[in-house]
Amino acid sequence: MALRVLLSTTLLSSLLSLVLFSAVAAVISGRRGRRTAVGFFHPYTNDGGGGERVLWCFVRAMQEENPDLDRAVFTVDDASPQSLAARALDRFGVKLLRPPQSSVLNLRYMSAPPARFRSIISKFLLVLDRRARTSVFLMEADETKDQLMKWIEEHTYPHFTMIGQSLGSVYLLWEALCKFTPQFYFDISGYAITYSLARIFGCKVTCYTNYTTISLDMVSLVFSSTAQCTIMMLQLLSDNILLSRCKLVYYTIFSWLSWSVGSCAHLAMVNSSWTRSLIDCLWKIPPLTKRVYPPCDTSSLQMLPLGKPVKSPVIISVGQFCPEKAHSLQLEAFAHAVGILDQDMPRPKLQFMGSCRNKQDEERLWKLKERCRELNLDNFVEFHRDASYRDLVQLLCGAVSGLHSMIDEHFGISVVEYMASAVIPIGPKMDIALNEGGRKTGFLASNKEEYTEAILKVITMAEAERLAIAAVVRKCTQRFSEQKFFKDFKAAVQPILAPKSSS
């Protein structure tokens, strides 16, 4: 018995030593082979959301600022450089400066691992742009895209979801950095836990945060000592006191983890003042945190007419069909508004426009359509999936109001697109929907009743009043243009990209 225990312990120690040695060897090899390049970590390059627009604008800005610097996009989407460049133009109107050319290479993981370990190898595309040439490095793997995305999708982790997704992102980045180690690492997807790994590989870490994994409610629960906040949050978490306390410990641990990895960033760019205040609270690196409003194509949208069709007012909702966008809340509020609208008033129409990242988003869209049929709204609701940027412009041209209902995203690109198109926004409190010189620029709402009230106000207000608000709304978007983004982005990253900053 003692001999069996000794052998098991020796075997386990040897295995752990081998794993540790392999990991250290991979890091040393990555640091020595580090390229003068920028690596953008964005697993979803076909999600159609604001983050993807930011990605392509980042690539465009880097092409302008440092034309001789290599650029790599880390993604699991099986797409060629040509199709990615075409997608950037078709879906977002972002034209990259140099059309890419591609070649495909097959790489092996640590000199071809045994077959039993090959099932954990991740297929990762690296789209590398060198002036007029782009090379695609395709890792040999057994896993499909759907299997790969399970590492970072919430349904894979029914419990401890945030930590599970974070560790999954670390695994994906490890596979990427073992094949291609850039000098500068950019995270656009909000996977802060990857920053420490990128630092270990010797990368300069820069991130752009649209919204944080930890919400304001979690931060309030962890850092607030007031009884009122504690009682409110415990009610939100669960009626079970023991479970609530366990979640409090969980959020505390995750908040500490967020601070420890977030502080690894050399530069943290955020999309709004609200996000900056939260990042300052979590990461505690105010000197390294810069606010850079996201890129919005306001110039072309401002060319759309102020006047809108009033015979059948159109309300639009632009956003991925993901849970945090709360499309069901919008649908229920719209149904309520239609139900209590006077019979002599024109019937409004609701248009949903968005994309699906995975099967879960597709199921969510299907359920939304089913709920629409249950509410007898088939004639008043439209769904536009994976529409082009041209289609978006056409829909915005006919809309009088736009819905946004993501609580923890206080700056949505879609809201700026609404306002530039003279579409009155309705949504949670955010940087954009502020009073301009005492004049209203939108309606704030956080629940079904408030959204219903705001929808009724917009569709029943006099045309002169609506035009006056629309004119003010459009004027507010002048500070959110793509040109302003490029200027602020280049100013923020210039110290990081300077030769004296290289490590």
Please give the pLDDT value at position 83.
Answer: 79
The closest alpha carbon to 157, from 177, 143, 171, belongs to 171
Q: pLDDT higher for 77 or 27?
A: 27
Q: Give the burial class of 500: count Cβ atoms within 10 A of its Cβ; 0-12 exposed, 13-18 middle, 19 or more buried.
A: exposed
First vs last Cα of the chain: how many Å apart? 53
CATH class assigned to 298-480: alpha beta
Q: How far apart are CA 351 and CA 393, in angstroms?
A: 13
What are the pLDDT digits (tens) for 407-461?
665 567 888 889 889 999 998 865 555 555 667 788 888 899 999 999 999 998 8
What are the pLDDT digits (tens) for 171-220?
888 888 888 889 999 998 888 889 999 999 999 999 998 766 665 555 55
What is 29-210+263-295+484-501's CATH number? 3.40.50
Please give the pLDDT value at position 228.
Answer: 41
Please give the pLDDT value at position 157.
Answer: 67
Q: Where are the alpha helices (DSSP H) in 203-344?
A: 216-223, 227-237, 241-262, 273-283, 298-301, 327-340
Q: How far apart are CA 352 and CA 299, in angstroms?
A: 24
State the CB neighbour count (10 A cutoff) for residue 293.
Answer: 21
Q: Do domains 29-210+263-295+484-501 and 298-480 have the same CATH topology?
A: yes
Please give the pLDDT value at position 304.
Answer: 87
Helices (H) and strands (E) in the chain, counts: 19, 15
- For the question of whether the overall pTM of this predicted structure is more than 0.75, the answer is no
Q: Assign 488 a pLDDT band (cuts: 50, 70, 90).
A: very high
CA angle 263-269-275, nearest 5°?
85
Domain map (residue ranges) of the chain:
29-210+263-295+484-501, 298-480
Highest mean pLDDT among 82-86, 307-311, 470-474: 470-474
Q: How far apart are CA 493 and CA 442, in angstroms?
A: 33
What are the pLDDT digits (tens) for 131-163?
434 444 443 344 445 555 666 666 666 666 677
Share of the chain above pLDDT 90, in %: 21
- Name the DSSP letter for residue 44: -
Q: How far apart are CA 185 and CA 493, in angstroms?
A: 12
- The mean per-residue pLDDT over the stretch 355-366 comes to 87
